[in-house]
Structure 1
Amino acid sequence: MVRTTSIMQPYFLASIALITMMLVFAITQLEVTETHLMPYLEKSVPYIGAVPTTEGLDGNGILVAVIDTGIDYTHPDMLGFGQNGKVVGGFNFINPNQLPIDTNGHGTQVAGIIAADGGTNGVAPAVRLLSYKVSEDGEGVRSELIVSSIQRAIEDGADIINISLGVNKTNDAIDGAIAEAVERGVIVVVAAGNDGAQQSSIGSPGRSPPAITVGATYNNLTSSSVAILNINDVPYVAIPMVGSAVPPDPIESRIVYAGYARESDFNGLDVTDAVVLAERGSDKPGELLYFSIKEKNAADAGAAAIIIFNNKEGMYYGELIHNYTEPGYTPRIPAVSMSNKDGLKIINLLPDVEAHLMFLHDPDHVAPFSSRGPTLPFIKPDMMAPGVHINTTTLSGGYQAVSGTSYATPHVTGAVALLLQQHPSLTIEEIRSILTSTSSSVIGQEGSWEDPHNAGSGRLDVQAALATDLVVYPSILSASITPLQRTDTIPVHLRTISGDTLERVSIHVEPDNGYITHEITNDTVIITVDERLQADARLTLTYNNISHVIPIKIHHSNGTIHATQENGGLNMEVSYPEKWDFAKITLSSRSGETYETSVTPSRGSFVKVFDSGIYNMQAEISVGTQSYTAYDSILVDAVSENKTIWYDIIIPWRQVIIIAVLSGILGVFVVFVPRRSRVFNV
């Protein structure tokens, strides 16, 4: 195995500007001392339904490994290092001769959300921690240290691993180490990353199929305002600036461009009751035009609101209240930030542009920085948790307000600890199913439920997860509609944790337009999706007054994948309405197993598989110079027992020969036989 040398970045670094701004806002809102705890963690923990003292669960007996910058175990809420402390062990991969104490703060902040026990309580305050220090200053960490720390956590007997750092690309070594940990029975919870709101922005380890990947929503605070902006009926991403005025009613008005929103930029410009569009910064060297100045100038000119778009690529997080605002300044109109790309797009649409802007206090929205999918073939993130304005433990016995998916992740880690304490025999897939299916809905900008590629199944609801007796598998459904497969039938398997007979399960589908039908037989719900259904859907199963919501992703494509089980493997074929040359098929299991094979119109392929479960299938079909993608999934319940058997793969020889001729390699043919895509060690 080739040793990788890529550098990992703690996710909080990718959003350091966001964190700084939010900290300034928190400090201006609350009086803070080293001994006075801000109530933010006390907001997020009850908000997700984690009330250990009343439920009788606190994570006792569960060992959690935190792979990060170390943990400051001298913090009163960490109770010390060693068998009598909360941090019972670990390893310093930066300096093996020293204990894994945190000198940066990130690891201590993560650990506090999981298990703080003192001035504040984490989600699972009785959990014991292992501290694996893989970064000294938070500037980065070599990927081999992540792999080594995962292996060490397995050896040290961790029940759960929390990884709140990563990269914005795929790292096979890390993903392989996670797959090995899960195969050994260790549950791995990872951060989605802070590279949102761009699509396909989740990297490793967030892309790892067997890991539980967590994105961030807002916290349950009065400052958790969300802007819903539609321009000419098209939704745009807009972020309320810290300290912004909140309109009591939606604003519907024309948009007027006002340059950099200097006072002089409004001369001769009628912006009365309009939404002003302005650019961030200035075009004059040395000129400081704070957001507060732009807001004041727009308000003085009679504007109803101001949109300030970035002066460079990407999104930003604005702050109206800061140390340089004029004495007595108070924001008077709503102010939101926007990306450079969207701002320039709106300028090109002027003057016939109408804006509809409204603010909501609804924490169940995706935080703008939270990384998004898709990460085919599986949906990531798996779920969400509060990751904005989270106050937690930090260095020197203090507390700090922080934001990022780094801090959403430990909420889920703590929830996993509570579930393991309650039901020690649960598998990772059962835990994933319980946590994701009982999640609360996350709302998109249009006011409907958010795309699973952005928010997974929803926001963590610990109370519902601990109360349910139902396990649903799979917890996210994928339907494939093609010209040859105009309906898709998907089985959903149910079982009770207690072993009680399953009865009185109510079923509801959205949209309820007749395009999705269902029937239940014993412990299986059969879902049939009709080709007329174009958008994603949801299945809701209610058992003992607990609702389980299952997202249904709809794939429409021209190609059809045919897979049938036989003798511990799958017979694979592909159909396409036009003449096609060959297709490469990738099968991916939730456990991290990947199988690849090729088929042609005249010859299929047989692939032996060694793990049962849901396999997502993706075919890249070559049609002349073009390539088209087809999707499907299959539940494999009969597998091969001999893992050393080679796959009987049919290679598209015509294409191999063509490539060989073009390469001038006529005398030698090398046949590559796909193997299981697994990584054990670097």
Structure 2
Amino acid sequence: MPGNRRSRRMKNGRRRRISLTATEKRVLTLLLLLLLSLPALPLALTSINPVLTTDTGELIIGFTGDATTADQDAFAATYGYTILDRNDALNCILVRPDSAVQKRVLTRGAREEIVRYLEPNKPVRALYTPNDLYFPDQWALPSIKVDQAWDYERGNKTVTIAIIDSGIDYTHEDLSANYLPGGYDWVNHDPDPRDDFGHGTQCAGIAAAVIDNGKGIAGIAQVNLMAEKVLDHTGRGTEWDVALAIVHAVGHGATIISLSLGGDENAQVEEDACRYAWDNGCLLVAAAGNQMVEGVLYPAAYESVIAVGSIDQTDQRRGTWGPELELVAPGVSILSTSLYGGYASVAGTSMATPHVAGVAALLWSQYPSLTNQQVRTILTQTADDLGAPGFDMYFGYGKVNALNALLLNLNFDTMRPEVPYPSISGIHTGTITPFYDLDVSKLSTYPCPGTGGRTINARIWNDSLNVTAAWTGYPGDWQTIPFDQVFLLEAGKTYNYTIETASYPQIHHTASLTTPVGTITCTAFTDHNGWVHHDRIPAIRLLH
């Protein structure tokens, strides 16, 4: 099941426009916690595609000035690896350990007195910049790290984005090479979904305009574009046609379905079509709406669809919000393709939506074995957090980040509990088992509203890892503390934790919790009154 998202509705299916108390707002922002009932996704980075690992398997070890060659050789022998090369001028060596030794060296060897530093021998790459004429004017692409993601992946024609909209001007110089016939015109009932309004062409260009052709703009992903025309020359259509188009796109090979359209009311036929596409492995993204009010439009509000909101150049929200909102993306002053071979600046959540579709296409191009739920999880769990820490109804999980998604820079996030009370400080012990490889540098605690809930100290360890973090004052962020080193939590392995909290942190009142990227359990929680509980999990985030 995709994320179970609910919003308030009247019996006739219309959404009620209501004002909420502060408590109700906090509860609504947590409705997506039901995502945590999803099946486990035990998929590590290296099991998806070893090419993207940031570690060559080799280590560089720098020594203090008085360390001799004999000292280097003795150090290598102690930790059981082979010296591959030596640089006398910099007093460092290149070594290749086996994986078990490498983990031990990273946590223990770096503390030897003669060792000045120890670091992985990471790969480097040529940095790519497209030659498209208007690329410098596309502020949105660096904002969501697409320009950096292109150093790893630019798209694959095994992926197809279906633009369900007003059609596509497939004769456009910046679209024709990526256009895939096979769509349909549901307005005029013919197999020629050519755009006569312009909206679909604008969306298509953002997602997949041809890159590096010396013309126009750079699309996010070099994948196939399919057109399903459901909007007429005035930009209007029907839910029936949208449903038909979704089913047709699934039958003609769509991987991702982008819907920059919507209405105020739900329609069962449209919801069934979205569910049909999801159940057949497609990822659906849709525009949340442009009004600065609460109330995500349909089809974005369906649980099988990623609802996308809009932000501007300063990451300020520009559009509809609600508990169904999942991601945000740039949607102001967006340069894209337009009718008759032109280019125009456009705005709205309609333009934010194909940004997410394009990033999803990059991700699926790099990792073709992913399921739609795994793609969805990676997009949400690698987003740049905006607004209140963690998920909130104004920015969802945050701004989509293409580079983080491709590198699987996931955060372990318990999210806020629906009911954090009673809250009390104390010492938590338990285990964490990630589904993915997680690079971790910081721990952040969710505080109860109006309190300074924080972590005093933390320790994470198993047979090959032992890291600690400690609170050192009020540096501006009371809730986040750094570990003494950046470390890796390996997919499928179980790690112990001890976390001491203070000043009313939020607590999950359960013995075990499954998040989209791993599980966390409670062994014991000793509160500051000395009482011991076995169903108190700290509400935390492990940040990369």
Q: Say if 1:40 and 1:193 are closer, same or farther in 2 by CA, change over 3 A.
A: farther
2 CA distance for matches of 1:442 and 1:191? 18
Q: Following TM superposition, by how much is the alpha carbon of 1:471 offset from its aligned partner in structure 2, in angstroms?
A: 7.1
Q: Which residue, 202, 215, 237 being the options, matches 1:109?
A: 202
2 CA distance for matches of 1:540 and 1:493? 21
Q: Which amino acid aligns with 2:400?
A: L
Does residue 480 (structure 1) correspond to residue 431 (structure 2)? The answer is no
Does residue 169 (structure 1) correspond to residue 265 (structure 2)? The answer is yes
In the TM superposition, 1:424-463 aligns within 5 A as: 424-443=368-387, 452-463=392-403
Q: Which amino acid aligns with 1:63?
A: T
Q: Following TM superposition, by how much is the alpha carbon of 1:435 offset from its aligned partner in structure 2, in angstroms?
A: 1.9
Q: Say if 1:450 and 1:402 are closer, same or farther in 2 by CA, change over 3 A.
A: farther
Q: Which amino acid aligns with 1:58?
A: G
Q: Which residue, 365, 371, 376 being the options, matches 2:316?
A: 365
Q: Following TM superposition, by how much is the alpha carbon of 1:205 offset from its aligned partner in structure 2, in angstroms?
A: 1.1
In the TM superposition, 1:509-658 aligns within 5 A as: 509-511=445-447, 513-514=452-453
- Structure 2 SS opposite 1:88: coil
Match of 2:45 in 1: none
2 CA distance for matches of 1:427 and 1:516? 36
Q: Do 2:197 and 2:235's aligned partners in 1 also have CA atoms closer than 8 Å?
A: no
Q: Do 1:40 and 1:401's aligned partners in 2 also have CA atoms closer than 8 Å?
A: no
- Structure 2 SS opposite 1:214: strand
1 CA distance for matches of 2:488 and 2:336? 31
Match of 1:417 in 2: 361
Q: Say if 1:509 and 1:428 are closer, same or farther in 2 by CA, change over 3 A.
A: farther
Q: Which amino acid aligns with 2:291?
A: D
Identical amino acids, percent of aligned pairs: 29
Q: Do 1:48 and 1:460's aligned partners in 2 also have CA atoms closer than 8 Å?
A: yes
Q: Which amino acid aligns with 2:378?
A: I
Q: Following TM superposition, by how much is the alpha carbon of 1:121 offset from its aligned partner in structure 2, in angstroms?
A: 4.2
1 CA distance for matches of 2:435 and 2:482? 12
Between the two proteins, the alignment pairs up a number of residues equal to 348
Q: Following TM superposition, by how much is the alpha carbon of 1:53 offset from its aligned partner in structure 2, in angstroms?
A: 4.5
Q: For each residue in 1:483-533, what CA deviation from the matched residue of structure 2 results, as whole angstroms up to 9, or x when unmatched?
A: 7x989x999762226xxxx676642225594467988687xxxxxxxxxxx
Q: Do 1:92 and 1:98's aligned partners in 2 also have CA atoms closer than 8 Å?
A: yes
2 CA distance for matches of 1:478 and 1:42? 39
2 CA distance for matches of 1:188 and 1:406? 14
Q: Following TM superposition, by how much is the alpha carbon of 1:436 offset from its aligned partner in structure 2, in angstroms?
A: 2.1
Q: Following TM superposition, by how much is the alpha carbon of 1:188 offset from its aligned partner in structure 2, in angstroms?
A: 0.6
Q: Which residue, 286, 306, 309 being the options, matches 1:215?
A: 309
Q: Which amino acid aligns with 1:509?
A: T
Q: Say if 1:459 and 1:92 are closer, same or farther in 2 by CA, change over 3 A.
A: same
Q: For each residue in 1:408-431, what CA deviation from the matched residue of structure 2 results, as whole angstroms up to 9, or x when unmatched?
A: 010110000010011112223322
Q: Do 1:59 and 1:414's aligned partners in 2 also have CA atoms closer than 8 Å?
A: no
2 CA distance for matches of 1:491 and 1:472? 13
Match of 1:205 in 2: 299
Q: Following TM superposition, by how much is the alpha carbon of 1:371 offset from its aligned partner in structure 2, in angstroms?
A: 0.6
Q: For each residue in 1:218-267, what CA deviation from the matched residue of structure 2 results, as whole angstroms up to 9, or x when unmatched?
A: 03xxxxxxxxxxxxxxxxxxxxxxxxxxxxxxxxxxxxxxxxxxxxxxxx
Q: Following TM superposition, by how much is the alpha carbon of 1:91 offset from its aligned partner in structure 2, in angstroms?
A: 0.7
Match of 1:160 in 2: 256
TM-score, scaled to structure 1: 0.45
2 CA distance for matches of 1:147 and 1:440? 32
Structure 2 alignment gaps of length 5 or more: 1-12, 15-131, 463-477, 490-507, 520-544
1 CA distance for matches of 2:183 and 2:401? 30
Q: Say if 1:442 and 1:60 are closer, same or farther in 2 by CA, change over 3 A.
A: same
RMSD: 4.3
Q: Following TM superposition, by how much is the alpha carbon of 1:467 offset from its aligned partner in structure 2, in angstroms?
A: 1.9
**Structure having the higher Rg:** 1
In the TM superposition, 1:128-147 aligns within 5 A as: 128-147=224-243
Q: Say if 1:521 and 1:131 are closer, same or farther in 2 by CA, change over 3 A.
A: farther
Q: Which amino acid aligns with 2:419?
A: S
Q: For each residue in 1:127-165, what CA deviation from the matched residue of structure 2 results, as whole angstroms up to 9, or x when unmatched?
A: 101100001124421111111111111111111100110
In the TM superposition, 1:2-17 aligns within 5 A as: none
Q: Do 1:69 and 1:106's aligned partners in 2 also have CA atoms closer than 8 Å?
A: yes
Q: Say if 1:195 and 1:41 are closer, same or farther in 2 by CA, change over 3 A.
A: same
- Structure 2 SS opposite 1:165: coil
2 CA distance for matches of 1:216 and 1:403? 9
Match of 1:391 in 2: 335
Structure 1 alignment gaps of length 5 or more: 1-5, 8-35, 220-362, 523-536, 548-560, 566-588, 591-612, 614-682
- Structure 2 SS opposite 1:420: helix
TM-score, scaled to structure 2: 0.55
2 CA distance for matches of 1:403 and 1:514? 39
Q: For each residue in 1:634-669, what CA deviation from the matched residue of structure 2 results, as whole angstroms up to 9, or x when unmatched?
A: xxxxxxxxxxxxxxxxxxxxxxxxxxxxxxxxxxxx
Q: Do 1:169 and 1:202's aligned partners in 2 also have CA atoms closer than 8 Å?
A: no
1 CA distance for matches of 2:185 and 2:270? 19
Q: Do 1:66 and 1:130's aligned partners in 2 also have CA atoms closer than 8 Å?
A: yes
Q: Which amino acid aligns with 2:316?
A: H
1 CA distance for matches of 2:280 and 2:240? 20
1 CA distance for matches of 2:219 and 2:135? 14
Q: Which amino acid aligns with 1:110?
A: C
